[in-house]
């Protein structure tokens, strides 16, 4: 089933992330990047809260383990730092150059996943990771 496919949701994520870059580039015009990040974050918080409420998942908040909570908080802090940096980059540069460099996170996730989580990638997958890195560098350089 399509709704149970991780690929389906990952592609939707990419589509929404691309939309985010374009919409944010327009939205950050004439707005301090940190203020723009705050507005975006408030909207995301309200949206996520509405989804949790609408789907009846609110009770699950009390079931989060201490370990999971610590890592979710750390993830939230990393997300906040990423967004602050991303909006600052968008306020200073072209979306078509900022977004590909931001997507170097794909390369870093591969490296961290293998080195820290014990995940494995095939030689073909490593080739793809290298091509993503090279592509990001080429787009960002303006060649």
Percent of the chain clearing pLDDT 90 (strictly above): 86
Does residue 80 belong to any structural domain of this protein?
yes
Query: Are residues 8 and 63 located together in one domain of the fold?
Result: yes
Query: Are residues 135 and 70 located together in one domain of the fold?
Result: no
Percent of the chain clearing pLDDT 70 (strictly above): 99
Q: Would you state the pLDDT for residue 92?
A: 95
Q: Would you state the pLDDT for residue 140?
A: 85
Does residue 98 belong to any structural domain of this protein?
no
Q: Would you state the pLDDT for residue 109?
A: 96
Query: Are residues 44 and 108 located together in one domain of the fold?
Result: no
Query: Are residues 21 and 80 located together in one domain of the fold?
Result: yes
Does residue 132 belong to any structural domain of this protein?
yes
Contacts of residue 8, Cβ cutoff 8 Å, sequence gap at least 6: 2
Q: At which residue do the structure tokens 């919409």 appear?
A: 23
What is the pLDDT of the chain when averaged over all its residues?
A: 94
What is the spatial distance between Cα 52 and Cα 44, in angstroms, rounded to a whole number? Answer: 12
Q: How many residues does the chain have?
A: 143
pLDDT per residue as tens digits for the range 42-57 = 999 999 999 999 999 9
Domain of residue 64 covers 2-93
Query: Are residues 89 and 107 located together in one domain of the fold?
Result: no
Contacts of residue 97, Cβ cutoff 8 Å, sequence gap at least 6: 139, 140, 142
Query: Are residues 137 and 85 located together in one domain of the fold?
Result: no
pLDDT top residue among 142 and 28: 28
Query: Are residues 20 and 71 located together in one domain of the fold?
Result: yes
- Using the Cα atoms of residue 135, residue 138, residue 140 and residue 143 in order, give the sign of their dihedral: negative
Mean pLDDT value across residues 93-101:
91
Number of domains in the chain: 2
Query: Are residues 88 and 116 located together in one domain of the fold?
Result: no
Query: Are residues 8 and 58 located together in one domain of the fold?
Result: yes
Query: Are residues 85 and 107 located together in one domain of the fold?
Result: no
Q: Would you state the pLDDT for residue 54?
A: 97
pLDDT per residue as tens digits for the range 20-78 = 989 999 999 999 999 999 999 999 999 999 999 999 999 999 999 999 999 999 999 99
Determine how many CB atoms are found less than 10 A away from the CB of residue 80.
13
Question: Is a pLDDT exceeding 80 seen at residue 6?
Answer: yes
Query: Are residues 69 and 27 located together in one domain of the fold?
Result: yes
Instruction: Give me the phi and psi of 128, to 5 degrees please.
Output: -60, -45
Query: Are residues 116 and 134 located together in one domain of the fold?
Result: yes
């Amino acid at each position: 089933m399509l709704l149970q496919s991780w690929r389906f949701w990952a592609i939707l994520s990419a589509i929404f992330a691309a939309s985010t870059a374009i919409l944010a580039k327009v939205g950050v015009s004439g707005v301090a990047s940190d203020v723009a990040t705050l507005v975006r974050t408030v909207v995301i918080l309200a949206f996520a809260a509405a989804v949790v409420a609408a789907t009846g998942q609110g009770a699950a908040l009390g079931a989060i383990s201490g370990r999971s909570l610590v890592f979710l908080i750390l993830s939230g802090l990393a997300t906040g730092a990423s967004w602050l940096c991303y909006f600052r980059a968008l306020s200073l540069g072209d979306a078509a150059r900022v977004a590909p460099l931001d997507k170097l996170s794909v390369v870093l996730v591969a490296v961290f996943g293998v080195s820290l989580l014990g995940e494995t990638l095939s030689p073909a997958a490593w080739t793809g990771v290298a091509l993503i890195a090279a592509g990001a560098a080429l787009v960002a350089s303006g060649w």
